[in-house]
Amino acid sequence: RPASAEGTVVLAVPATTLPPLGATFQLRLTSYPSADAAARVLAAARDAVAACPRWSYPSALADGGVAHRWTVAVPRADLPYDSLRVRITDSSTLGGLPAVAGGTRVVVAVGRTVLSAEIALGIPFRDQLEPKEQLLLDDLAVVGARLVVHALDS
């Protein structure tokens, strides 16, 4: 994009495509007018996770119409640019039974472009992901981000 442009491109991979089956993967690239603007977006994302790591939101499917989200920053990914890696957990009950969706988001500022790679996996009848499931999601989000960063550098 020209240096003055600001725009976003989103690629969503269907849940039937990736292992583990049922996982969704989304890449979002947003161009900003300057590298400083992109760096401010990344800083704002860090601030948001630190300031408000837990909240509730309306959910038509959840019992009581409310679901809950937790976010926690984890050590940054091994990428050549400044980044943020966040684990995300959404939980609720559906018909009195627990349901969880967990995932990882990696946000990277590459010059004036901000990349967000997010993977999520929903699991009914459980209230949390198994550690091995979370680690797989962490790895897939980082690999996706690394591939796009490499393409941006090329």
pLDDT in tens, 109-154: 999 999 999 999 998 899 899 999 999 999 999 999 999 999 988 8
Residue 5 has pLDDT above 60, yes or no: no
Question: Residue 2 falls within a domain, yes or no?
Answer: no
Q: Considering the chain, what percentage of its residues have pLDDT values greater than 70?
A: 95
Torsion of CA 37, 43, 47, 49, to 10 degrees: 110
Question: Residue 74 falls within a domain, yes or no?
Answer: yes
Question: Residue 130 falls within a domain, yes or no?
Answer: yes
Question: Residue 65 falls within a domain, yes or no?
Answer: yes
Domain that holds residue 99: 7-153
At residue 32's C-alpha, the angle toward residues 29 and 34, to 5°, is 135
- Please state the φ and ψ torsions of residue 136, each to the nearest 5 degrees: -65, -45
**Going by DSSP bridges, is the β-strand pair 113-124/97-110 parallel, antiparallel, or unpaired?**
antiparallel
**What's the pLDDT at 19?**
67
Question: Residue 1 falls within a domain, yes or no?
Answer: no
Q: What domain count does the chain have?
A: 1
Mean pLDDT computed over every residue of the chain? 90
Q: Determine the Cα–Cα distance for residues 103 and 81; give it in Å rounded to an integer.
A: 22
Split at pLDDT 50, 70, 90, the class of 2 is very low
Question: Residue 15 falls within a domain, yes or no?
Answer: yes
Q: pLDDT (tens digit, 9 = 90+) per residue, 66-115?
A: 999 999 999 999 999 999 999 999 999 999 999 999 999 999 999 999 99
Question: Residue 31 falls within a domain, yes or no?
Answer: yes
Q: What is the CATH number of the domain that holds 61?
A: 3.30.530
**What's the pLDDT at 63?**
96
**What's the pLDDT at 82?**
95
